[in-house]
A and B are shown apart, each in its own frame.
Chain A
Amino acid sequence: MTNNPQPHNLSEILAGYVLGDLDETELVWLNQQLAANPQLKEKVSQLESTLTLMPYGLPEDVPQNDLRSQIMAQVQPQSRSTKYRWSWIISAVTAVSALWLGINNFSLRQQLALRDNQLQQQQELITLLRQPNNRLVALQGNQDVVTASGSLFISPESKTAVLALQNLEPLAGKQVYRLWAISQNKKTGCANFTPNAEGKVDLTIAPDDALFDANSILITIEPQADTEQPLGSEFLTGSYSAI
């Protein structure tokens, strides 16, 4: 291309460039000319201006509707979108805050309910302790391998007993721990229970008179609940003076 100083008509190539119809060869050649003579860009601008005057040559048709009013009714001030964006952000922050406060409130209510429950239990326990003729029975294992321990609190006046144990092994199948009241070698079943996952028992019992008539208690491991007589071996025992 460069060997031929003027292979193309420069003006027509400029016009073709503005019209967008140059082929690759013409475009390469024009770029070389533009690089060598930047003032040609002014001619390009003039041809582009000429082309954009074409709409003035159209017939003087007018819209049937009042487009100006329709456009002005729809246009929004620029600042409106900024306000809208801010209102969206504020709404989002408010919603998240409300959600967090809601969860927090629920959590606080749960804690409060738990504390109320604990406080009520403590008050009930204090009430029990104030009763006359109470007995506190220490329970001990009959074998060295038994690490379980605990107490039975008996309040005859309120017809209530509370059993508190720890370090109990979990039982398999239908096995249960069973509390027996022993009076004159007669063993009366009072309650079945199983420990929680931590091996602890916290059981309130409303026993019949057998517990109050007895002077010792026994805990055994039974193959099933509500056995009439102890089938398992003695596990924990404790004695107290008759009420």
Chain B
Amino acid sequence: MQVTNFLPFKNTTNLAKESVNIEPGNSLMINNSDRKQSTDEAVFAAFIGGDKSALGVLYDRYGLLVYRLIYRMLNNSQESEDLTQEIFLSLQVKTKFDPERGSFYTYLMMLTRSRTIDRLRSKRSQGRFWQNIGKLTDSIEQQKSDSPMDIVSTKERSALVKNALQDLAPNQRQVLELSYYEGLSQSEIAKRLNIPLGTVKTHSRRGLLQLRKNLHNLVN
């Protein structure tokens, strides 16, 4: 389960744009040596083109991240393993991913978070919670951001993000984590922390802006 061997994701080759035009059924096989150099988008296109093993490459790159995010949100290892499988297997049907609109990584993480919040939906009953579901779904459609790029390993990237989060003011970090990891709405966070809604918004917005500064090496 080591995830240290990857990964120039994007802008390292031109394969992505060439590969997205492959029609389903035309198998595009990528050999192992090429795979290490292939963008996520090229690997995904190969998978859609019929190369079953390409899904394994995507799992090697992001399987643990998907699992960890789900595990953080559900706090149940068995459910998290099941949902991780569901999400990767769902990539072979009804995939809305459009390489022209954003990176595969961003799509996968938004999909993971959205599906996990759907799962949480059955566990929670607060009405306000659902208001964010629509926004989340919309944000998947509107996603245009670039992936984390450059040649940085998962461990290095993890270290950078952890440090960037650690450098936030505690109240900003706390609100961001409750919002992103646990899928809580702003009003739910206000209720849980017993602080005004306006304060929650201020903390989360300023926290995100500060995180953007802290991670300027990863986000162009």
The residue on A at minimum CB distance from B160 is A56
* Residues in B whose Cβ lies below 8 Å from that of A64: 77, 81
Instruction: Write the nearest CB–CB distance from B187 to chain A, whole angstroms.
Output: 9
B121 at the binding interface (Cβ < 8 Å): no
Q: How far is the CA of A72 from the CA of B92 in the complex (A)?
A: 12
Contact yes or no, B208 A50, CB < 8 A: yes
Find out whether the CB atom of B56 lies under 8 angstroms from the CB atom of A72: yes
Q: Is the CB of A15 within 8 A of B206?
A: yes
B89 with A50: CB separation less than 8 A: no
B165 at the interface (CB under 8 A from A): yes
Kindly state whether residue B68 has any CB partner on chain A within 8 Å: yes
Chain B 178-220 per-residue mask, 1 if CB under 8 angstroms from chain A, else 0: 0111000010000000000000011011101101100100111
Whole-angstrom distance between the alpha carbons of A15 and B206 in the complex? 8
Judge if A104 is at the interface, Cβ distance under 8 Å: no
- Contacts A20-B132, A58-B181, A71-B89 given; does A82 touch B148 at CB 8 Å: no
The one of B65, B148, B180, B206 that contacts A49, using a Cβ cutoff of 8 Å: B148
Q: Is B88 an interface residue (CB 8 A)?
A: yes
| Interface of chain A: mostly helix, strand, loop or mixed | helix
- Whether A49 contacts B106 in the complex (CB less than 8 A), given A19-B208, A57-B162, A67-B63, comes out as yes
Q: Judge whether A49 and B50 touch: CB under 8 Å.
A: no
What's the minimum C-beta distance from A95 to chain B, rounded to whole angstroms?
A: 26
User: Which residues does chain A contribute within 8 Å of B135, judged by CB atoms?
Assistant: 20
Q: Which residues of B contact A90 (CB under 8 A)?
A: none
Residue of A nearest to B106 (CB): A52
Residue interface mask A64-86, B partner, CB < 8 A = 1:
11011011101111110010000
Complex-state Cα separation, A18 to B56, whole angstroms:
31
- Which of B63, B67, B92, B110 contacts A52, CB < 8 Å? B110
Residue on B with the closest CB to A76? B92
Question: A59 — nearest CB in chain B belongs to which residue?
Answer: B68
Most buried by B among A18, A46, A48, A65: A48
Central interface residue in A12, A76, A78, by most chain B CB within 10 Å: A78
Q: Which of B11-19, B31-39, B138-146 contacts A (4 or more CB under 8 A)?
A: B138-146
Q: Is the CB of A19 within 8 A of B1?
A: no
Pairwise interchain contact B68-A19, C-beta atoms closer than 8 A: no
CB distance from A53 to the nearest CB of B (A): 5
- Cβ of B158 within 8 Å of any chain A Cβ, yes or no, is yes
Residues of B within 8 A of A18 (CB): 139, 208
Question: Which one, A19, A50, A75, contacts B212 given CB within 8 A?
Answer: A50
Judge whether A228 is part of the interface by a CB distance below 8 angstroms.
no
6 A-B pairs with the lowest CB-CB distances in the bound complex, closest first: A20-B135, A56-B161, A48-B145, A15-B205, A49-B145, A45-B145
In the complex, 7 of the A-B residue pairs with CB atoms within 8 angstroms, ordered by the A residue number, are A49-B218, A53-B219, A56-B148, A56-B162, A61-B68, A63-B80, A75-B55
Given contacts A51-B211, A62-B64, A63-B81, list 5 more A-B pairs with CB under 8 A: A46-B145, A54-B176, A56-B148, A57-B161, A82-B24
Q: Which residues of B contact A (CB under 8 A)?
A: 1, 24-25, 27, 47-53, 55-56, 59-60, 63-69, 71-72, 77, 80-81, 84-85, 88-89, 92, 105-106, 109-110, 112, 132, 135-136, 139, 143-148, 154, 157-158, 160-162, 164-165, 176-177, 179-181, 186, 201-202, 204-206, 208-209, 211-212, 215, 218-220
